[in-house]
Structure 1
Amino acid sequence: MGVGVTEKGAILLGRHFTVDGPAERLVRVVTHAHSDHMVGLGFSVRRSAFVAATPTTHRFLEVLGQGVPPGKRLELPYDKPVEFDGEVLVLKPARHIAGSAQVLVETRDGSYGYTGDFKMPGTPPMKGLDVLVVDATYGSPRLERRWGEWDAISALMEIIEREKRRGPVWIYGYNGKLQEIIVELRRRGLKDDIFTDAQTLALARIAAEFYGEPLGNVRLLSHDAEWGIIMVHYSRFSEYRRRPGAHVLLTGWELSAPARKSGGNVYRVSFSDHASFSEIIEYIDEARPGRVVIDAVRSKTAHLTAKYVERRLGIPAQAMP
């Protein structure tokens, strides 16, 4: 049917393209710079003729030490088609992190697409495809968030305004999410200095350019930081959690409230870069493809999502692999 999903998470589209995972294909596509979508990138650099991504994603890859050699780097702006032996590749906008893309492949035999990671609003559905592969990280009604993104950001602002008077506010998130939060806080009038590490700062500068929002004063974090708003990668929570101040975890897996205190000086804020269950169904309903494939490598509920799509939307659907 022109698509496949391998055990390693490669989304196969048409004859020539592998997306977000390694396979023996002419072109490797990277939808965005998160580790579960960069799997096997070294293999693809060696075995594929080109590695395609948006210019912003290629810049992110450089900062993260995953840069692609110039001779194999294919920088594709949104909506710019490129043809390989009769198959046309187009990257479409996706709202996830800076530079994220959906993937559209048009062939003589049919049209195939992959949403990549996305959230709505802000991700225009690819309509009328023969087969659509969908990310369904939150692919169950049990994982539905009963509030909007604005509620979570407002809760974060309240925590910052209250806690910054008492000491430093540590904010932890993943690459891309941190940079988006910096931009969102600036849009909402936060003028405080922000401190972070060199890698997060480099990514923030790229993201600010992508979003068209001034970054404001973001400075490098020193080891003896005792005040201010500090943003670092989620993986460093265990390293810094015993330091004075409030510690805020940005996580889409907080499903009880937009924000809650989880003990002591730790907060969990429900900010996600993935579509909620209802947004996944909304996207598929608007897209109305001939068939739906749910990526089961990156979702634990893919089979449930596929059954729901078939029963509620009347569209043939299956989880793969």
Structure 2
Amino acid sequence: MFCTQSVTPDAGTDIKYTVFSYILSTSANTTPILAATGATGAINVGKTCYFPLIGYVYAFESTWEPRTLYKFRVAATLSNLYAYVYTNTITAASTLITRRNRINGSQSVSITASTTGGFEDTVNSDNIASGNNVNLRLVTGATGTSIALSVFQVKSNSAGRQVAAASSYIISLVKGRTTYITIEGNCQSINDDETLVQVTARTAFIAKNMYVNLYTNGITNTTTFTLRKDGANGGLLVSVPSGATGQFEDLDPAHATNFVAASLINWRVVTPYIGTSICISCIGFELAQSAPP
């Protein structure tokens, strides 16, 4: 297990971070870790709730499954489903399950009553086909009080990595605004200053198969989602019609965008000056990369 630790000296006032990024090197370059992190807050007994496979799970559990879906556009084998529980006063077992096309998958983690720490399924796996919608379901035990988790994680063996900013928590973008979002993690990490959300690519890759999942849409004109490269629009673009919600994609091979080491990358969302606001559940793409020699 690993995490990021920040140690500030006892001098001055404060410091603010916008992005942390790492290179994860694996033996075959085909087993990235997909993770949704944050602190769920207290989830009560007897609840069935859903979470995105990637992104952010802060202080909220969604009981409406469609808003937590991510659509894979590359075949993958998911394994080693893992959850970290940081508080647990539920006195019966709780269960975390993978979901594929809104049906239970093969992986499950049984969280022991009144127990905290890490729990993992090291036996089962899920075969995901292109076009499958994937997410997680948590069913809490029937007695006790509540449970809270901070990490959901799974290994994905595939030819392409899923990169996404997602959230089970509601975030609305108001009309008439150009907003920039971090490339991965929390789609609530928005800013009007693009430089504060840019991530530097550490190696070459191709971005393709863009995906957007919208929870609500009160904008009465076309909203545009764009993958950005070095402060300019890349090829991937999703245009969402007036008031439309649900899943939207750009699968055009001609729109795939090549990035090199040191390229700056982030999302841009432009909402027109008509209507009210729009709520993003997930925005992502497939990262294709050559296998190491």
What TM-score results when the alignment is normalised by the length of structure 1?
A: 0.22
Structure 1 or 2: more strand by fraction:
2
Structure in which a larger fraction of residues adopt helix: 1
Instruction: Provide the TM-score with structure 2 as the length reference.
Output: 0.24
Pick 1 or 2: higher relative contact order, CA cutoff 8 A, min separation 6.
2
Larger radius of gyration: 1
